[in-house]
Structure 1
Amino acid sequence: MRVKMDGDKEWNQYLLDKSVSEHLISIGATLIISGKISDEQIATWGDTRNA
């Protein structure tokens, strides 16, 4: 997915996350777990962000 901001607007990850969360709740999705995945756990999976 690529996101392009209109004009000179700055990217705000928090607002995107909040918007997605609110949408999912509005369609009846259920939150199973919340939190941050530790860097150590991510390291065990390998870094595929640029794959």
Structure 2
Amino acid sequence: MKLVNNGMKVQYRSGGSGAVRTMPYVQYLNYCNQIMLSCCALLALELALAF
């Protein structure tokens, strides 16, 4: 994964060795935030069930 166009886009390979794909950096950050919020929700659920 690397930044292109002065950091405006993220370039990566699908599956690590597939076709080269690009997406806007803002969209990449949005996906990362969604994953983090999902992890936090899962942790909260597991803690609620444990206690």
Please give the TM-score of this superposition, normalised by the length of structure 2: 0.38
Relative to its length, the structure with more helix (as a share) is 2
Higher fraction of strand? 2
Whose radius of gyration is greater, 1 or 2?
2
TM-score (norm 1): 0.38
